[in-house]
Amino acid sequence: SEALFFEMADRLAEDGWRELGYEYINIDDCWSAKQRDAAGRLVPDPERFPRGIKALADYVHARGLKLGIYGDLGTLTCGGYPGTTLDHVKQDAQTFAEWGVDMLKLDGCYSSGEEQAEGYPEMARALNATGRPIVYSCSWPAYQGGLPPKVNYTVLAEVCNLWRNYDDIQDSWDSVLSILDWFSANQDVLQPAAGPGHWNDPDMLIIGNFGLSYEQSRSQMALWTVMAAPLLMSTDLRTISPSAKEILQNRLMIQINQDPLGIQGRRIVKEKSHIEVFLRPLSQAASALVFFSRRTDMPFLYTTSLAKLHFPEDAVYEVQDVYSGKIISGLKTADSFSVVINPSGVVMWYLYPVALPAQPWHVVRQQAP
């Protein structure tokens, strides 16, 4: 009900979330009445949202936050509420803008591939035509299997700001791993599609709920950050534990996630020992590395060097451990080093060059947008 959203807005504003960039508070499915009004407009459920969405948006805006809402391109939403059929696209976009909505997630239940191919771009045009900046999250590729030739990521990047490629996340470690596996297996297709204003969305952070251990929570945060994922929390901020809050409010993590280049990271190593290494290039020739253990037995001592991870020869780095804050100075590319990774856990490094070879490696590897 609206009371929940008022309370969550207060928590975002008062508990340090807003200053870190957690500024959208998003309503999911089932917010509307079961019928449109006489003029064909969507209306909120009168019992659960008696003051209406505009009043909620005003409350959220007064706290320096933004409001997101849910729609579905189809005859019904996934939860069985009125959907947005093609003849309602413009009307619904206008309604959301008038209410002061700042973000729209448009799902795809109860629609055909043809309707989606027409409706998703049409909604983008309709939102732009309102004159109100509204972030546009599309579920389009998820309904088409997430991969070419059915999904054209060039078109998608022109139409949507972020998109769901794959299954809904569940509150379980198995679910997190299945998403990570799919993104890693298809990274050659997915990684180039992401960038400022158009992001792959592996779905929400479930840190602070019931399904993940402490180590697994740290892992999801680090892996989503290295994948340049939009950080959308799905948890109760009134009862969140201090340890979950600390993970979600890690400043260096958020700085890495929000890096202005917006390059999505990749898995670069998959060891027989069930250790995986992910690399994300960052601005100013910095990098983020995530050492991830899929082991379930005991902490693992993993030894490697930056040279083995294809960093440029003769470079020297300052390294900061993103979770512990510990700093390693003067790490040369050729130096061997070891990290201890807990079962289903991560060690995450932020590397900043203090001395670079003549040709900066990121310029060679990937031109910045």
Q: Which residues are catalytic?
A: 107, 168
Spatial separation of the C-alpha atoms in residues 34 and 45, rounded to whole Å: 8
Preceding peptide of 133 cis, ω within 30°? no
Nearest to 120 by CA among 91, 79, 163: 163
When computed from its CA atoms, the radius of gyration of the chain, rounded to whole angstroms, is 22
CA separation for the pair 344, 18 (Å, rounded): 30
**Residue where the block lists tokens 């900043």:** 352
For the record, the structure tokens of 181 come out as 């596996």
Token pair listed for 74: 């189809």
**How many beta carbons lie within 10 A of that of residue 367, not counting itself?**
7
Q: Is residue 298 classed as helix, strand or coil in its secondary structure?
A: coil
Q: Which of 129, 20, 128, 12 is nearest to 67 (CA)?
A: 12
Residue 40 backbone dihedrals phi, psi, to 5 degrees: 85, 10
Q: Which two tokens stand for residue 78?
A: 């996934």
- How many residues are present in the chain? 369
Q: How far is CA 90 from CA 78, 102, 116, 337, in A?
A: 21, 16, 15, 57
